[in-house]
């Protein structure tokens, strides 16, 4: 089976490419603090807004559980709202909804496609609802002429989705200082483990020419001494979004993650992702049994994944997962998520396959991934 990196991989190539300034995005925000994860950043945003027991937070029906878990953990109640065919919040539904007790709304730029934000910002202002802009999929880009992350009272982002780091998130704001957030530093042991993790994954995928054999041998010895445990190549975290050590919500990300995110060539991140997305769109936009949600990538967008809408997901999803290609979907729906008229969320949860297109997938990888998807979906 061909081995594909599921996430960005640390190596020499991460520092190659032009030093061109990156696209606008979350890093353009005036105030920023690094956290252990995007999930932790949501928790910190809710805390900063003094949201707690009995308060309500609007969240989309199309979600990863890590978007909802922080709301429940602080004692607030998630109130689910529908999304439109473009992935935007359904403002018509929101305008007619009972909003008593609602303190915040979480809005996401799914797959890194910027959603229009001015009307949603106006709605939140009119109803005195805080807006948390979820940029976990959208580290770079603009919406209506403003950097992503600048529309919300707070914005959150996830580092491993865009950078070759073992962990990390970001909370940002253009209007609210974040210096009151008390984030505990990582221990020296956590720092060493994180650095070793990043290097080990890179060596597994041959990203250190001249040193790969030596590094693999060293990590093989280390893993045998630990009883055979090895790094899977995926960033840390709990896939379900549940039962995470609460201390991580108040900790600062490890220094190596912050250094890597600051040092890698962001021009390479953007260019390679756009190249890979365009290649997937070319091969998969018109296949029988599926369609691309966004065949044309807007200018100034650095995609997170390539979203493919599949007519018969039950027949192809598990075979594709077993093939080893970087693919997943958000079918782990939070208990109690309602079925709402005209809502795209539940349908997307089962039918939209999120196919990896990150910067460390080569053109040959993308060709092979596209061929595997075509065969599975058509059969």
The pLDDT tens digits of the residues spanning 113-157 come to 999 999 999 999 999 999 999 999 999 999 999 999 999 999 999
Among 162, 168, 163, which Cα is nearest to 183's? 168
Residues 28, 166: one domain?
yes
Predicted local confidence at residue 247, as pLDDT: 72
For 158-265, where are the alpha helices, taking DSSP H only?
A: 188-204, 212-225, 255-263
Residue 193 to residues 159, 162, 213, 229, 299, Cα–Cα distance (Å)? 17, 20, 20, 14, 38
pLDDT exceeds 80 at position 233 = no
Predicted local confidence at residue 237, as pLDDT: 39
Span 225-239, average pLDDT = 55
Predicted local confidence at residue 1, as pLDDT: 67
Question: Is 11 part of a structural domain of the chain?
Answer: no
* 241 close to 66: Cβ distance less than 8 angstroms: yes
pLDDT exceeds 90 at position 228 = no
Q: What's the order of all strands across the beta sheet hosting 305-310?
A: 290-292, 305-310, 352-356, 327-328
Among 313, 311, 303, 299, which Cα is nearest to 279's? 303
Question: Is 105 part of a structural domain of the chain?
Answer: yes
Cα–Cα distance for residue pair 28/349, rounded to 1 Å:
31
Predicted local confidence at residue 19, as pLDDT: 78
Domain boundary among 126, 150, 173: 173
Residue 122: domain span: 22-173
Question: Is 88 part of a structural domain of the chain?
Answer: yes
Span 231-253, average pLDDT = 60
Q: How many structural domains are present in the chain?
A: 2
Domain boundary among 132, 150, 173: 173
Predicted local confidence at residue 239, as pLDDT: 39
Domain boundary among 124, 158, 173: 173
Span 60-78, average pLDDT = 97
Span 236-256, average pLDDT = 67
Residues 43, 157: one domain?
yes
Question: Is 273 part of a structural domain of the chain?
Answer: yes
Predicted local confidence at residue 257, as pLDDT: 96
Render pLDDT for 1-36 as a digit per residue (tens, 0 to 9): 688 999 999 999 999 988 776 789 999 999 999 999
Question: Is 5 part of a structural domain of the chain?
Answer: no
Among 64, 65, 63, 72, which Cα is nearest to 43's? 72
In CATH, what number is assigned to the domain containing residue 163? 3.40.640.10
Question: Is 362 part of a structural domain of the chain?
Answer: yes
In CATH, what number is assigned to the domain containing residue 357? 3.90.1150.10
Question: Is 287 part of a structural domain of the chain?
Answer: yes
Question: Is 80 part of a structural domain of the chain?
Answer: yes
* 40 close to 169: Cβ distance less than 8 angstroms: yes
Please list the residues that pair with 328 across neighbouring strands: 354
């Amino acid at each position: 089976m061909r081995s594909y990196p599921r996430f960005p991989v640390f190596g020499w190539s991460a520092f190659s490419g032009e030093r061109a300034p990156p696209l606008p995005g979350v890093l353009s925000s005036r105030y920023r603090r690094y956290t252990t994860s995007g999930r932790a950043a949501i928790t910190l945003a809710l805390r900063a807004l003094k949201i707690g027991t009995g308060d309500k937070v609007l969240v989309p029906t199309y979600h990863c559980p890590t978007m909802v878990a922080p709301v429940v953990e602080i004692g607030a109640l998630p109130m689910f709202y529908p999304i439109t065919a473009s992935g935007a919040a359904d403002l018509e539904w929101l305008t007619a909804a009972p909003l008593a007790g609602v303190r915040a709304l979480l809005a996401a730029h799914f797959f890194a496609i910027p959603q229009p934000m001015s009307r949603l910002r106006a709605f939140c202002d009119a109803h005195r609802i805080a807006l948390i802009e979820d940029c976990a999929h959208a580290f770079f880009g603009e919406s209506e002429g403003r950097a992503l992350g600048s529309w919300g009272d707070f914005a959150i982002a996830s580092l491993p989705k865009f950078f070759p780091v073992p962990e990390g998130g970001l909370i940002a704001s253009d209007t609210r200082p974040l210096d009151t957030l008390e984030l505990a530093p990582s221990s020296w042991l956590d720092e060493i483990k994180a650095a070793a993790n990043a290097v080990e994954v890179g060596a597994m995928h041959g990203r250190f020419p001249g040193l790969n054999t030596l590094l693999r041998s060293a990590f093989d010895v280390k893993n045998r001494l630990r009883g055979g445990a090895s790094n899977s190549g995926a960033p840390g975290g709990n896939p379900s979004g549940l039962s995470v050590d609460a201390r991580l919500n108040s900790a600062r990300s490890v220094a190596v993650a912050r250094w890597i995110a600051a040092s890698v060539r962001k021009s390479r991140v953007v260019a390679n992702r756009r190249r890979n997305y365009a290649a997937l769109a070319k091969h998969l936009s018109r296949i029988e049994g599926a369609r691309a949600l966004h065949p044309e990538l807007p200018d100034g967008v650095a995609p997170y994944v390539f979203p493919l809408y599949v007519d018969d997901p039950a027949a192809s999803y598990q075979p594709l997962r077993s093939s080893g290609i970087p693919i997943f979907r958000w079918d782990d729906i939070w208990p109690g998520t309602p079925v709402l008229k005209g809502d795209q969320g539940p349908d997307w949860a089962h039918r939209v396959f999120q196919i990896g297109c990150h910067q460390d997938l080569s053109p040959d990888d993308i060709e092979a991934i596209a061929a595997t998807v075509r065969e599975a979906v058509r059969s």
